[in-house]
Structure 1
Amino acid sequence: MPRIDLTLPELWDYRPELPEPSGFDAFWSRTLSEQAGYPLAVTLEPVDNGLVAVETFDLTFAGFGGDPVRAWLHLPAAALRDTERLPGVVQFQGYNGGRGLPHEHVFWALAGYAHLVMDTRGQGSGWTTGATGDPHGSGPSTPGFLTRGIGHPDAHFYRRVFVDAVRAVEVLRGHDLVDPDRVAVTGISQGGGIALAAGALADGVAAVMPDVPFLCDFRRAADLPTLDPYAEIGRYLAAHRDEVDLVFDTLAHFDGALMARRATAPALFSVAVADTICPPSTVFAAHHSYRAAKEIAVYEFNDHEGGGPFQQARQAAWLAEVLA
Structure 2
Amino acid sequence: MFVDMPLAQLREYLPERSEPADFDAFWERTLAETRTHDLAPEFTPVASPLTTAEVFDVTFAGFGGHPIKGWLLLPRQAAGPVPCVVEYQGYGGGRGLPIDWLLWPSLGYAVLAMDSRGQGAGGWRRGDTADPYPGSGPTTPGVMTSGIHDPDAYYYRRLYTDAVRAVEAARAHPQVGAVAVGGASQGGAIALAVSALVPGLACAFLDVPFMCHIRHATEITGEYPYAEIAAYCRAFKEKVEPVFQTLAYFDGVNFAARAATPALFSVGLQDGITPPSTVFAAYNHYAGEKDIKVYPYNGHEGGESAHAMERIAKAGKALG
* TM-score range normalised by the length of the shorter chain: over 0.9
Letter of the 1:71 partner, please give it.
Answer: G
Q: CA deviation at 1:143?
A: 0.8
> Which of 122, 125, 131 is residue 128 of structure 1 equivalent to?
125
Q: How do residues 15-30 of structure 1 correspond to structure 2 at under 5 angstroms?
A: 15-30=14-29
Where does 1:37-116 land on structure 2 (aligned, <5 Å)?
37-79=36-78, 82=79, 84-116=80-112
Task: Report whether the alignment pairs 1:256 with 2:255.
Answer: no
Aligned to 2:138: 140
Structure 1 outlier segments of 4+, above 4 Å: none
Corresponding residue for residue 155 of structure 1: 153
The one-letter code matched in structure 1 to 2:295 is Y
Paired residue for 1:245, among 241, 245, 253?
241
8 Å contact from structure 1 (residues 4, 224) kept in 2: no
Structure 1 CA distance for aligned equivalents of residues 199 and 288 of structure 2: 15
Q: CA deviation at 1:112?
A: 1.1
Please report the RMSD computed on the Cα atoms of aligned residues, expressed in angstroms. Answer: 1.0
CA distance in 2, matches of 1:149, 1:22: 21
Distance 1:294 1:174 in 2: 28
Instruction: Please state how far the C-alpha of 1:204 moved relative to its aligned partner.
Output: 2.4
User: Is contact 2:84-2:109 (8 Å) kept?
Assistant: yes
Q: Structure 2: any 5+ residue segments left out of the alignment? A: none
Q: CA deviation at 1:162?
A: 0.6
2:285 corresponds in structure 1 to 289
1:304 Cα offset (Å): 0.4
Aligned to 1:171: 169
Can you list the C-alpha shifts for 1:211-257, whole angstroms capped at 9, x where unaligned?
A: 00001000110001231001111111011111111001101101111
**1:197 counterpart = 2:193:** yes
Q: Distance in 2 between matches of 1:201 and 1:108?
A: 24
Q: Percent identical across equivalent pairs?
A: 51
The amino acid that maps onto 1:241 is K
Correspondence 1:210 to 2:210:
no
Distance 1:275 1:292 in 2: 25
Task: Supply the AA of the counterpart residue of 1:154.
Answer: D
Given that 2:116 and 2:127 are in contact with CA atoms closer than 8 Å, whether structure 1 keeps it comes out as yes
Provide the rounded CA distance (Å) in 2 between the counterparts of 1:139 and 1:49.
41
Question: Quick one: which amino acid aligns to residue 280 of structure 1?
Answer: P
Write the deviation string for residues 133-191 of structure 1: whole angstroms up to 9, x where unpaired: 00013111111111110001000000000110000001111210111xx2100001000
Q: Is the 8 A contact 1:90 1:185 kept in 2?
A: yes
SS in 2 for 1:70: strand
Listed one character per residue, the Cα deviations across residues 34-90 of structure 1 (whole Å, up to 9, x for unaligned) are: 1111111111211133210011110101101110000000000121xx2x2211110
Q: Which amino acid aligns with 2:251?
A: D
TM-score, normalised via structure 1 length: 0.96
Distance of 1:42 and 1:321 partners within structure 2: 29
